[in-house]
Structure 1
Amino acid sequence: MKSTIRIKKINGKEYWYEDTPYYDKEKKQIRHKSKYLGKNIDGQPVKVRSDEMIPARLSVSSAPKAAYFHGNLLPLQNITPELSIQATLEEFLTEIETDTLLSLVYNRILRPTAMSNIQSWYEGSSLWINNNKLPLSGQRISELLSNIGQSNIPEEFMERFAAQIEPNATLLYDITSLSSSSKLLECLEYGYNRDNDGLPQINLSLVVDKDKGIPVRYDVYPGSIADISTLKNTIIRLKDAGSQQFRLVMDRGFFSQTTLAELIDEKIPFIIPATIQLTSVKELMSKAQTRVKQAEYLQKHEKGPIFAMPVTLEHQFDLDDRPRILKVNGYCFYDPKREQDERDSFYQQLFDALEKLKGCRPQNWRKPETVVQGVAKKYVRYLNWKFVDGQFEVSIKQKAVTQRLNRMGRFILFYSGEMDWLSCLTMYRQRDAVEKCFLRMKNDLETLPLNARREDSVKGYLFMVFIALIIRMRLQMILKVTGLAKQYSVEKLLLELEKIKLFELSQGEIMKSEVSKKNREILEALNLCA
């Protein structure tokens, strides 16, 4: 393969490199090697001196007056143009506003900190070398986020972003709660709190592209809005943005007769697990729980046996005072290993609840039923109890336990369209991508707690977090594709790359630290230049 000569612009200076493509037999793909030729002087490569590398030992006269972390920014700065994030933002924001927002995004990924500390963090990064005029005081950042929150920029960005990356036809959908103790945010309301922290909340829904592993849109709702209402709004917005052909994969929290009717009426393909709240589903499960074990339904999945039996739900109900019949196809699955794991866990926790309640001696002023609920929690339904002479007499409800055991290892996935059992099960299990997004957002990006004082600031802040989540999840996918995920988590890789620094000498020249073998291997795998 022929080599090409090209110029790279690094920190405002131009350098000549020879790029040589080669075929990597191990990874079975075309890779590139870059050879440094010299600094660009009057259109020619000239090796003036090795000022691109800082010596291991510096003389006193050449000692650096400042050092900047640099290497950990490289993959983030590479993903930003790859996904056209910066170009899309610049359609709505000025260059300074875009650079400011991206600085907040990079900080959120690398070292989340309070907005009042962003300026100090920025001055320690190589971003400072190229632009030391950004308005990064806490007040100016708050103003920027507030202005974004008041505008339609987040919605317009998501429309253009989706058009750029062309989301796959399979979209994963879920919702989470973001809590706050702030007394100033009117959007905070009490509702079903997934973090069980007892605080008012807002609800944030997320749509994730299954194959790319990145979020493509989000929506914010007051904390009391039901999950099913948020789903309906998301469908409308996806269609308004031009997404016509997609399949939604959802968790059991969205299962209801209303949801099924909505999805069927809108002709949206879906996969959703059933709950037994509907009598018709309970009856279907009861009929299938023995039949599903028959040999004709036996399959092999991930080196273990699993049974998959086709089922059809026919459910009659009234919708808008009119009788309606739902007919939905699905598969009833029976997983023997899962049954054993669920059985062991259930017995252990039921036994613990029983023993704790027997040994409980509540104070006289406490109501026994409140104590029972607090101790046994969700296992209350499986226990008979009496409060006699200051202590609890407890026994197990055998019928309730038997009914629970009969459902273990069994679950039903309903779907629309043409699907075999393996595609249905695989797509549903891949929905953990959206759960990982929520996990990364709450933990790694430290989204909680929400401390903003104004609703528009919260909306602007969540938009910034959304962009950070896109970049971080994209980096995670790159590590998986390149094989780096076998050695590095995202956090470990960024910490390793942080060792690559830029130094500013007393004469104003910028030098780069030596790049270790480990870092060179990372950069080559990511096709990056330090």
Structure 2
Amino acid sequence: MKPFVRIKKIKGNEYLYEITPFFDEETGKWKQKSRYLGKNVDGEPVRKGKIPNTTRVYDLGQYIPAHWAIKEYKFIEALLCCFAPEEVGLLLIIAINRLVMPCSPRHMNTWLSGTWLSRMLPGASPDPTTVLNLLDILSNRSVIGLFSRMISMITNFSDRRIIMSGRITDFSQYEGARGGGYPYKDLLEGDLGIRMFYDPDERVLTGCEIADIRKNFIEDSMSIISSGRIPGSSFLPNWDYFSPVLIQNLVTISYPFIIRPDSAYEPVSSEILDWDERQSPGIECTYHGEPCFLKKFTAMVGYTPVRGYILHNSKKEQAIRHVFEKNLQNIQDIILQGENDFETLDDLIHEVAGFESSFFFRKDHKSGIGRNREMITREIRRLSRTCVLYLGDYTWEECFSLTDTRWKIERELFSLYREFKRDLTGYQTERIKMGILFVSFLSVMIKTLVMKRLKQAHFEDITSINALMAELTPIHVVKSYQPFIVPGKLSRRQKTILSYFGGVPTL
């Protein structure tokens, strides 16, 4: 007879035994041999002390910090005021995907199936149609501002706010532009403008509003400021071709602001370029651990005096001078190699040097070229100095750190926005671009909260989100009759890191 499995119930638990019938020739009777298989779990035998047969291994570790930020700062509660529960789960899953492992909506289901996120943040399946529908909702419903108000109400942020404005523009095309401003002729009407609300005490983003630049974005910002809708706040705009008029309006209504102007902006250009430390050393200070000189000044905006600071980074100037001089020497060597006609030397200088041609001149009545030392000195000064104008009660460190923060956030937003649009190649993205930007903003917001917590932990060798991910990536969930974490014994370092992010989530 063939062996069969018998279930025995002992003290409420079921156990499986393999029963093998056999014929005993001595007694002439049929008997049975019994072999214990294990505890009955969904019809499968499981023995203590042995790892059961597994079906899947899921990524977990790298998603724990983002999940902690979502729970700690009540993202779900704030989003439930604007979206259905399944939309909330999907939105957060997309935001985490863009932060940790960005991929196209075509592959998002495959990515999610390999993580434990669907158990931590249950929601709709992120297939392409569902993702695009959600982005369409974000672009056409007035839900973004509502989320920003709700998360501020239910989370323990401070009462202070900095209103930061940004423009989602391809900055790479302006990297060679003098002064870092935006040439009017290169701006597209379809650029997106974003107002971000930043808590300077907690050093975190607390919300945003998004609009098309063509919809009078600057005028809308001025209306919000003058209406006092956000009391006790300050304005920190980006610098573009609107800014000279914007500064005049801000000065007129006496609203607190900080702005880092273009070095070519008339009220500050002479102060930046003519400051000679040998005659007027300024104030010695340290910014981001590097020695600097600081100069206070007053600029006239219209007929109104506005205070400002110029920061001169000595170390940065030395590096810039070295690279700049080396580049000019290379250009000069190429020009001299090609020089064969005194009459056409000016054309050769312009052709080879391009934008740098103003730093060279043709020597009169003899062959050769010289360098315009005055212009070179002024250019190096311009590149190694930065300036802020402000109205309100701010220290020089607050002015420069806040403008640096605004610029960093704007760059991160644009990077995520550009990558998301790239992964949506083949879809019509023009009508859903505000949704794309809001998802990118959520990712930056989560990242800001995680990095803030990481700084509180004082891990000197973990200074980026990618370094944090690398530390936690080895942590997985193994699915069996009872899911468990591998490795079974986390390292002391992993335990310490996870202690700052709520530990291992309940499985």
What is the TM-score with the length of structure 2 in the denominator? Answer: 0.71
How far did residue 233 of structure 1 move?
3.3
Q: Which residue pairs with 2:357 in the alignment?
A: 380
- Asked whether 1:509 is paired with 2:496, we answer no
Contact (CA 8 Å) 1:415, 1:424: kept in 2 or not? Answer: no
Contact (CA 8 Å) 1:148, 1:154: kept in 2 or not? Answer: yes
Structure 1 residues 435 and 372, CA gap change in structure 2 (3 angstroms): farther
How far did residue 412 of structure 1 move?
4.1
- Asked whether 1:109 is paired with 2:105, we answer no
Q: Which residue pairs with 2:253 in the alignment?
A: 266
Q: Which residue pairs with 1:72 in the alignment?
A: 62
Q: 1:393-439 deviations in whole A, cap 9, x for unaligned?
A: 754334533544666755543221244xxx22443134332333344
Structure 1 residues 213 and 448, CA gap change in structure 2 (3 angstroms): farther
Q: Which residue pairs with 2:297 in the alignment?
A: 311
Q: Which residue pairs with 2:432 in the alignment?
A: 457
Q: Which whole-Å CA distance do the structure 1 matches of 2:82 and 2:326 have between them?
A: 56
Q: Quick one: which amino acid aligns to residue 301 of structure 1?
A: T
Q: Which residue pairs with 2:454 in the alignment?
A: 479
- Asked whether 1:327 is paired with 2:301, we answer no
- Asked whether 1:489 is paired with 2:481, we answer no
What are the residue-to-residue correspondences of 1:279-428 with 2, within 5 Å?
A: 279-284=266-271, 289-290=275-276, 293-294=279-280, 297-301=282-286, 306-316=292-302, 325-358=303-336, 375-384=352-361, 395-404=370-379, 411-419=386-394, 423-428=395-400
Q: Quick one: which amino acid aligns to residue 297 of structure 2?
A: V
How far did residue 349 of structure 1 move?
2.8
Q: Quick one: which amino acid aligns to residue 463 of structure 1?
A: F
Q: Which whole-Å CA distance do the structure 2 matches of 1:92 and 1:253 have between them?
A: 33
Structure 1 residues 475 and 238, CA gap change in structure 2 (3 angstroms): farther
Structure 1 residues 123 and 327, CA gap change in structure 2 (3 angstroms): same
Identity of aligned residues (%): 16
How far did residue 175 of structure 1 move?
3.3
How far did residue 462 of structure 1 move?
1.6
Q: Which residue pairs with 2:129 in the alignment?
A: 139
How far did residue 250 of structure 1 move?
4.9
How far did residue 104 of structure 1 move?
1.0
Q: Quick one: which amino acid aligns to residue 160 of structure 2?
A: N
Q: Which whole-Å CA distance do the structure 1 matches of 2:71 and 2:225 have between them?
A: 24
Q: Which residue pairs with 2:169 in the alignment?
A: 177
Unaligned runs of 5+ in 2: 1-38, 40-45, 173-180, 340-345
Q: Which residue pairs with 2:409 in the alignment?
A: 437
What are the residue-to-residue correspondences of 1:132-281 with 2, within 5 Å?
A: 134-163=124-153, 164=155, 165-166=157-158, 168-178=160-170, 192=182, 202-205=191-194, 207=196, 208-218=198-208, 220=210, 230-237=217-224, 242-250=229-237, 253=240, 256-281=243-268
Question: Secondary structure in 2 aligned to 1:64?
Answer: coil
Question: Secondary structure in 1 aligned to 2:399?
Answer: helix
Question: Secondary structure in 2 aligned to 1:244?
Answer: coil
Q: Which whole-Å CA distance do the structure 1 matches of 2:388 and 2:459 have between them?
A: 34
The two structures, once aligned, show a CA RMSD in angstroms of 4.2
Q: Quick one: which amino acid aligns to residue 485 of structure 2?
A: K
Rg (Cα) greater in structure = 2
Contact (CA 8 Å) 2:163, 2:235: kept in 1 or not? Answer: yes
How far did residue 488 of structure 1 move?
5.5
Q: Which whole-Å CA distance do the structure 1 matches of 2:188 and 2:256 have between them?
A: 36
